[in-house]
Amino acid sequence: DIQMTQSPSTLSASVGDRVTITCRASQNINSWLAWYQQKPGKAPNLLIYKASSLESGVPSRFSGSGSGTEFTLTISSLQPDDFATYYCQQYNSYPWTFGQGTKVEIK
Amino acid sequence: QVQLQESGPGLVKPSETLSLTCSVSGYSISSGYQWGWIRQPPGKGLEWIGIIYHSGSTYYNPSLKSRVTISIDTSKNQFSLKLSSVTAADTAVYYCARDGSGRPMAYWGQGALVTVSS
């Protein structure tokens, strides 16, 4: 199985901050990486697919980059609605696997 | 717009079989795409359980493979999850989901909490 490792596990930030979350794959996954946002009690919501493609309806302050084994999710200016947990997920090969999550908290 | 809704017992006894159904509206399940199950234990991260193609081909997480069956019922526009020999470690919110033209798990159900307890 491909292991996905996110860092940091928790991030404290303020509204307006630029936030970066990193996801590393244990082997090459090309660009087959997605990012999800999850709020308490809700299903995850797809933000980014194929490493850098923005899902329809997702604000442009979210962006993704990377390929191979190292990937980044960036929120250019953190908004109150963005405090949530973020997961990366590889879909290069089965079984699809998720990172352990990064919780973005209010500083 | 495709919509998914999980249903099934919220309480299952240890050693029994967990059964959940995902009802799909707004799209014919036989027309295409991949239909999957993901779970999330309380306070923990996401675990991919497996996926079924509209053709019936399946792929399961090896960690659960011996206990999991995902099937599709095109007549009811539903797909189902069965997990046998459950223990307390299988207590989780179970989500069904569908991909969307190269976008993995673009559509999700709201989730169903299943508790394994005697």
Average pLDDT, integer, range B10-31: 96
pLDDT higher than 90, residue B100: no
Best of B105, B110, B113 to mutate (most A CBs within 10 Å, chain A): B105
pLDDT higher than 90, residue A107: no
Question: Given an 8 Å threshold on Cβ–Cβ distance, is A43 in contact with B45?
Answer: no
Average pLDDT, integer, range B67-95: 97
pLDDT higher than 90, residue B55: no
At A82 the three-state DSSP class reads helix
How is residue A52 written in tokens?
């850098």
The nearest CA of chain B is from the CA of A73 a distance in Å of 17
pLDDT higher than 90, residue B101: no
The Cα angle at residue B11 between residues B59 and B24, in degrees rounded to 5: 50
Residues of B in contact with A94 (CB under 8 A): 51, 59
pLDDT in tens, A18-73: 999 999 999 999 999 999 999 999 999 999 999 999 999 999 999 999 999 999 99
Best of A4, A46, A102 to mutate (most B CBs within 10 Å, chain B): A46
Question: Given an 8 Å threshold on Cβ–Cβ distance, is B48 in contact with A97?
Answer: yes
Q: Which position has the token pair 């059964």?
A: B19
Question: Given an 8 Å threshold on Cβ–Cβ distance, is B103 in contact with A49?
Answer: yes
Q: Whole-angstrom distance between the N-terminal and C-terminal Cα of chain B?
A: 39
CB proximity B64 to A under 8 Å = no
Q: Are A99 and A90 in contact (CB under 8 A)?
A: no
User: d(Cα B11, Cα A102) in Å, to the nearest integer?
Assistant: 30
Residues of A in contact with B58 (CB under 8 A): none
Across the interface, of B45, B103, B111, the residue whose CB is closest to A43 is B111
What pLDDT score does A65 carry?
A: 98
Question: Given an 8 Å threshold on Cβ–Cβ distance, is A46 in contact with B62?
Answer: no
pLDDT in tens, A68-90: 999 999 999 999 999 999 999 99
pLDDT higher than 90, residue B65: no
Across the interface, of B59, B105, B109, the residue whose CB is closest to A46 is B105
Say what percent of chain B tops pLDDT 90.
88
Q: Are A48 and A73 in contact (CB under 8 A)?
A: yes
Q: DSSP letter for B32, please.
A: S
Residue B54's pLDDT band (cuts 50, 70, 90): confident
* Closest by Cα among A93, A85, A67, A106 to A2: A93
Q: Are B86 and B8 in contact (CB under 8 A)?
A: no
**From edge to edge, which strands make up the β-sheet containing A62-67?**
A4-7, A19-25, A70-75, A62-67
CB proximity B51 to A under 8 Å = yes
For B13, half-sphere exposure in the C-beta direction (CA atoms, 13 angstrom radius) is 2
User: d(Cα A80, Cα B105) in Å, to the nearest integer?
Assistant: 25
Q: Tell whether omega for the bond before A8 is within 30 degrees of 0, i.e. cis.
A: yes
Residues of A in contact with B50 (CB under 8 A): 95
* Closest by Cα among A50, A52, A37, A41 to A99: A37
Question: Given an 8 Å threshold on Cβ–Cβ distance, is A89 in contact with B45?
Answer: no
